[in-house]
Amino acid sequence: MKKRILLLLVSFFAMTAMWASLVDAYQIYVTAAANGKTNATAVLTLNMKNREAIATWNCTVALPAGVTYVDGSVAIVDGRYPEGYNANLTATVNADGTVKFACEGAEGVALTGTDGAVATFTVQIAGTVAPDDYNVVVKAGSLLEEPNNDTHTDGKDREFKWTIEQGEDPGVKGDLNGDGKVDIADGVAVLNIMAAGGYDPKADLNADQKVDIADFVAVLNIMAAAGGQ
C-alpha cells in the first residue's frame, strides 16, 4: 500500500514538473537595459521563449500608472527574423491603457532561435511618477507554432520589476533650447523635430505621445500668454 502511494506521488510530481516545463517553454516577457527616469522616455524589450519554430506571436502589456506607450515606437529586433519573414508588427493601445502587440510573418517562414529579443518599444514616464520599483506585466502571450499551427497560450502573467528613478526637472514648459524663456526659437525646434519624425517629451506639450502641429501652436500660445517674450 505504501509503495503504491509512493508511486502515485512520484507520478503526480513528475507530471506536474512536465506541465510546468511545457508552460514555461512558450512565453513572452519584458526586459529593460536601464532604469527609467521621470520626465523622460525609456526603451523596453519584448523577448520570446519558444521550444519549436514560431510563425506569429502576440501579447498584451500592462504598464505602471503614469507610464504610457509612445505611439509608433514599436520596432522589430532583427536578430530573430529570417530573410523573407516580412514582419507585420503592430501595437494597439486599449481603453484600459494596456498595449496589445501582434506580429505576423509570411506564410511558411518562422522565427529563428529559441529565446531572445523580438521587439522594442518606447514609453513616456510622467513627472508625477514616484521613484520606486514597478511591475511591467506581460499578459496572455500567444505563440503560433510553425508548421503544424499549434497555438501555445501562456497561462502566466510575466512580471518584470523595473526601477524608475528621479529624472531631470523639465524646466519651463515649452523651453526646448533651455535658455529659460519660450520664444520663436522653441517653435522652430518643434518644427525640426516634426520634420525629422522624432520624439522629445519636452516638445510634446499636450502629452499625446507625439510631436505635431498642435505642439507648435502650444508654443505660440505660451509666447502670447507671456507677452511675446
CATH code, domain with 109? 2.60.40.680
- What's the pLDDT band for 13 if we cut at 50, 70, 90? very low
User: Does the residue 117 lie in any domain?
Assistant: yes
Instruction: Give yes or no: residues 95 and 147 share one domain.
Output: yes
Which residue from 192, 184, 135 is spatially nearest to 161, judged by alpha carbons? Answer: 135
Per-residue pLDDT at 6: 45
CA atoms 175, 178, 180, 185: torsion sign: negative
Three-class secondary structure of residue 122 per DSSP? strand
Instruction: Give yes or no: residues 159 and 193 share one domain.
Output: no
What would the pLDDT profile of 136-181 be if each residue is shown by its tens digit?
Answer: 999 989 999 887 788 999 989 999 999 999 998 767 788 888 888 8
Per-residue pLDDT at 127: 86
Considering the chain, what is the average pLDDT of its residues?
86
Domain containing 95: what range? 26-165
Per-residue pLDDT at 68: 96
Q: Got the DSSP string for 172-206? A: STT-SSSSSS--HHHHHHHHHHHHHT---TTT-TT
Instruction: Give yes or no: residues 134 and 217 share one domain.
Output: no
User: Does the residue 1 lie in any domain?
Assistant: no
Instruction: Give yes or no: residues 142 and 217 share one domain.
Output: no
Q: Got the DSSP string for 49-109? A: E-SS-EEEEEEEEEPPTTEEEPTT--EE-GGG--TT---EEEEEE-TTS-EEEEEE--TT-
**Grid coordinates belonging to 13:** 510530481
Instruction: Give yes or no: residues 134 and 209 share one domain.
Output: no
CA-to-CA dists, residue 216 to 2, 9, 185, 225, angstroms: 79, 69, 11, 14
Instruction: Give yes or no: residues 93 and 150 share one domain.
Output: yes
What would the pLDDT profile of 28-50 be if each residue is shown by its tens digit?
Answer: 999 999 999 998 999 999 999 99
Instruction: Give yes or no: residues 151 and 190 share one domain.
Output: no
Is the N-terminal amide bond of 147 cis, ω within 30° of 0?
Answer: yes
Per-residue pLDDT at 1: 55
pTM value?
Answer: 0.71
